[in-house]
Amino acid sequence: MKLWALVKKEARDILGNRIFLLVVVVQLLIILGTFGLALSTALVNDPAVLDSYGVNSAIKVGLSEDLNQSTLVDDLEAQKLQIEYFNTTQEAKRLLGTDLAAVISISSEGEIQVEFDTSNVFYPVASTKVSKAVDTFQLRKNLQSRELSEEQIKVIQEPVKLRIINLKEEEAVKIALDSPYFVEVMYGFIVPFILLLPFFMASNLVTDSIVGEKERKTFEVLLMSPLPSSMVVIGKIIPILTFSLLQSLAWILLLDLLQVPIFNTLLLLLILFSVGLGFIGVGILISVLVDSTKEANSAITLILVFTTFILFVPLFIKSGMFQVLFSFIPTVLMVKIASSPVVNPEVVVYLLPTILISILIFLGTVRSFRHERAIRL
């Protein structure tokens, strides 16, 4: 009951802290910002998405006047590209990269010359669409110069036919943008980042709670209460861990509202709980070692830089040698768990080291806290 009293007091302190509420609001802004960024980058990277939203007017292609009557124009228009004609190629090239995404001209030998400026934001989409149009044009020209049967033409135009059959469409999960780029960026980086945000803040709350007591000289009184010192620490961390988990749960619901469905919530909460325990453990260790909030803040900032490195860099690196090791990183596991409706049971095996290391960090730091020198005032 005494522990419960301490938990309630700490929870009240956190909830009454206007700065904590401000931090929650800032996280909300970060989530909406990153979601918007993922949507907009998917838009400029995915031709299908760009077509479906009808914003092709942004992609302009410059053509020399002598191509005006060519069937290439029809092929480019079929790709929904905006065409602008220029008297000379030089004139068009001056606008390449700024107003124009590509310039197409024809040489005296009849060769089609396509020039792109890769610094144009729409280069990935422009490149795909122009290549498709030029390939179709070239293929038509090639087929015209040969005497082929209809059957042969059909095979040459489409030697491999792909039929896609959609299963369980009636139970389809709604996704904000059914684009590979959006799905990869959201699940591959943004989801673990968002769900871990509250825990990055948690280590700061721990140091503030413990070092704050040291600074206000109230820790001595707290330690004189009929509670073992380890219970004091546990009493302090229960509300922090609970609030962090609740925040992560709220962000999961928010992502669901934004049509980024998150699966296996319970398993994700287990990973977050383990990572949180590790973060809080490090927070306690820092609180034990430092004398002031200022020192604690500096140390926490540095620790967070290294932790960010360990947690997020493996998401972006392809390494044959370390790939097996990367499979144990909590963020890598979160990517697989959050995006799969049914999770492979072997994931639990990969999860064990995270749970074990977190518990060890936590127990080790609680033990160090009980040491008399550590709680010196």
Partner 1 sequence: MNFMTIARWEFKNTIKSRKFLVIFFLQIAALFLFVMVFNSLAENLESNEALSITPSLSGFANVDVDDQGGLFTRHLNSEVLTLKNSSYQQARNRLERGLTVGYYTVPPESVTLIQDGDQVETILYLDYRDPKRSVVREEVNSTTKTLSTALTTSYLESYRPRNITKQPGVTETTSGESVPLQLIRKVMLSVLLFLPLFLFGNLIIDSVVGEKERKTVEMLRALPLTSADIIIGKSLAVVMVMALQVAMWMIIILGAGFQLKNALMVYVIVFLTTIPLVGLTTIIATYSKNYKEAGIGLTFAYIFISGLLILPLLGYIINQSTLANLSPMTMVMRLSSGETIVMGEILLSLTFIVIISLISYGTSITLFQRDKVIFGPRPSIIRLTMELMGLNKDKKTRSHKRRIRN
Which residue from 185, 255, 285, 366 is in contact with partner 1, where contact means CB under 8 A? 185
Q: Which is nearer to partner 1, 17 or 230 (CB)?
A: 17
Q: Which is nearer to partner 1, 287 or 366 (CB)?
A: 287
How many whole angstroms from its chain centre is CA 193? 6
Which residue from 1, 54, 69, 146 is in contact with partner 1, where contact means CB under 8 A? 146
Site for partner 1 in 86-115 (CB under 8 A): 96-98, 107, 109-115
Angle formed at CA 372 by CA 367 and CA 377, multiple of 5 degrees: 120
Contacts with 6 (C-beta within 8 Å, 6 or more apart), sequence order: 225, 227, 231, 232, 235, 236
**Binding of partner 1 by 145 (CB under 8 A):** yes
Which residue from 56, 131, 229, 242 is in contact with partner 1, where contact means CB under 8 A? 131
How far is it, in rounded angstroms, from Cα 133 to Cα 76?
5
Q: Which is nearer to partner 1, 50 or 332 (CB)?
A: 332
Q: Which is nearer to partner 1, 120 or 247 (CB)?
A: 120
How far is it, in rounded angstroms, from Cα 260 to Cα 242?
24
Per DSSP, the residues of 304-363 read HHHHHHHHHGGGT---TTTHHHHTTSHHHHHHHHHH-SS--TTHHHHHHHHHHHHHHHHH
Contact 201, 276 (CB under 8 A): no
Contacts with 267 (C-beta within 8 Å, 6 or more apart), sequence order: 337, 343, 347, 351
**Binding of partner 1 by 297 (CB under 8 A):** yes
How far is it, in rounded angstroms, from Cα 299 to Cα 209?
15
Contacts with 154 (C-beta within 8 Å, 6 or more apart), sequence order: none
How far is it, in rounded angstroms, from Cα 111 to Cα 116?
16
Candidates 59-67, 79-87, 235-243, 337-345: pick the segment binding partner 1 (CB under 8 A): 337-345
**Binding of partner 1 by 323 (CB under 8 A):** yes
Q: Between the CA of residue 188 and those of 183, 245, 259, 260, 337, what are the distances in Å?
A: 8, 21, 16, 12, 11
Q: How far is the CB of 132 from partner 1 (least distance, A)?
A: 9
b/e for 207-231, b at 16 or more Cβ within 10 A?
Answer: bbbbbbbbbeeebeebeeeebebee
Contact 351, 270 (CB under 8 A): yes
**Binding of partner 1 by 365 (CB under 8 A):** no
**Binding of partner 1 by 40 (CB under 8 A):** no
Other C-beta atoms within 10 Å of 297: how many?
A: 16
Structure tokens at 221: 């009184």
Candidates 73-81, 266-274, 317-325, 367-375: pick the segment binding partner 1 (CB under 8 A): 317-325
**Binding of partner 1 by 168 (CB under 8 A):** yes
Which residue from 150, 316, 372, 373 is in contact with partner 1, where contact means CB under 8 A? 316
**Binding of partner 1 by 57 (CB under 8 A):** no
**Binding of partner 1 by 160 (CB under 8 A):** yes
Structure tokens at 287: 């609180």
Q: Which is nearer to partner 1, 127 or 229 (CB)?
A: 127
Candidates 80-88, 250-258, 269-277, 324-332: pick the segment binding partner 1 (CB under 8 A): 324-332
**Binding of partner 1 by 298 (CB under 8 A):** yes
Binding map of partner 1 across residues 8-27, x = CB under 8 A, - = no contact:
-----------x--x---x-
**Binding of partner 1 by 138 (CB under 8 A):** yes
Which residue from 32, 302, 360, 363 is in contact with partner 1, where contact means CB under 8 A? 302
**Binding of partner 1 by 225 (CB under 8 A):** no
**Binding of partner 1 by 117 (CB under 8 A):** yes
Candidates 59-67, 154-162, 230-238, 359-367: pick the segment binding partner 1 (CB under 8 A): 154-162
Q: How far is the CB of 112 from partner 1 (least distance, A)?
A: 5
